[in-house]
Amino acid sequence: MIFITWFLAGKTAALCFNITPRGRFLRSRLARLAIVLSPLFFSTWVAITRIEDYVGCSLNRLFARLITFQSAIIEKM
């Protein structure tokens, strides 16, 4: 999403404050900034909702720790 943000910033000239792009809607700096930052806000929202939706049982966490510990021991051998 950072690539898309930089791509949109280049296309809309959102970070170039001395350039006024063509088009009626894109003359507003706030509109250009909103267009550029929308992918970052969307990806942050998706990440937060994924974390909040994941509610693991205590047994799931216990077995995940055991598997991780066992994998670390096998890797060190």
Helix (H, G, I), strand (E, B) or coil at 57: coil
Each residue's pLDDT expressed in tens, for the chain with a length of 77 residues? 778 888 888 788 777 777 766 666 667 778 888 888 888 899 888 888 877 666 666 777 788 888 888 888 887 76
Encoded tokens for 3: 């690539």
pTM of the model: 0.52
- Token representation of residue 53: 């939706």
CA 74 to chain centre: 34
- What is the predicted pLDDT for the residue at 54? 66
pLDDT of residue 9: 81
Output the pLDDT for position 23. 65
Q: CB count, 10 Å around CB of 32?
A: 21
